[in-house]
Amino acid sequence: MEPRRPNESAGSAWEDAGFIASWDEGTDREKSIREMQMKTVVFMLPQPKDQPLRLLDLGAGYGALAAAVLADRPSARAVCLDGSEEMIKLGRERSAGLGGRMEFVRGPLDSAGWLKLIPGPFDAVISARALHHLTHEERRRLFRDVHGLIRPGGCFINADSFKPGSEALRGMYRRTRKRWVDPPAGDAAPETPQGARLPHGAHYNGLMEDELGWLRAAGFHDVDVFWKFTNYATYGGFR
């Protein structure tokens, strides 16, 4: 059965500067994985490198993914949407030197209301490690919304984790990632079960074949997994 959102205000930890700092630390230990995952987003954008692009980064946090694209494409501009005021505050501070090329908007992705906050169209919609916080139903709706926002020739690329196809794979992926990170993580590293009540919002990862099917059903073509390591992936499609 599809996991459903519990009756709770999810994600409040993303308003806590201490939690964000400890998340950043964990992310930093996985730097070698995250870099490949995010660079795949940057390099898979189909437009010529000097074309002025308008990007939308969903669940952008302080805008790390959008910043990576802007560093590669000097004529690109980005709108970063996130639900956390604290993340947006950090993002505005960190992007102060970008001369207004990065704009932050606060809004919730788990309801269709976010579309009213962000006038399209965009050349690319991108996201990193955020959309697993949406239920499957919410993510399917979001994929359709996103398709409607993208100009023909554009793309949607999501760098996120997905649900392993079996418990055996879950264990092997987890062990492999723990050995990969620097320094290697001990057994105490916490696991994040599907739909569990976590301080930073429940996780609703989908099987990769479902995620790809939802993208195709939303209207995207050339849908594929562009990069994958254990159950981390960068996947998407084109309009």
Ligand X SMILES: C[S@@+](CC[C@H](N)C(=O)[O-])C[C@H]1O[C@@H](n2cnc3c(N)ncnc32)[C@H](O)[C@@H]1O
Contact residues toward ligand X (CB under 6 A) are 11, 14, 59-61, 64-65, 82-84, 87, 108-110, 128-130, 133, 201
**What is the number of the residue whose Cβ is closest to ligand X?**
61
Q: Are 162 and 208 in contact (CB under 8 A)?
A: yes
Q: Is 129 or 239 the residue whose CB approaches ligand X more closely?
A: 129
Q: What is the DSSP letter of 211?
A: H
CB of 114 to ligand X, least distance (A): 7
**H or E segment to which residue 79 belongs:** strand 77-82
Q: DSSP letters of 147-191?
A: HHHEEEEEEEEEEEE-B-SSHHHHHHHHHHHHHHSSSPP-TTSPP
Q: Is 5 or 172 the residue whose CB approaches ligand X more closely?
A: 5
CB of 169 to ligand X, least distance (A): 22
Q: Is 118 or 208 the residue whose CB approaches ligand X more closely?
A: 118
Q: Is 82 or 123 the residue whose CB approaches ligand X more closely?
A: 82
CB of 168 to ligand X, least distance (A): 26
CB of 59 to ligand X, least distance (A): 3
Q: Alpha-carbon dihedral of residues 57, 69, 46, 128, nearest 10 degrees?
A: -40
Q: Are 24 and 87 in contact (CB under 8 A)?
A: no
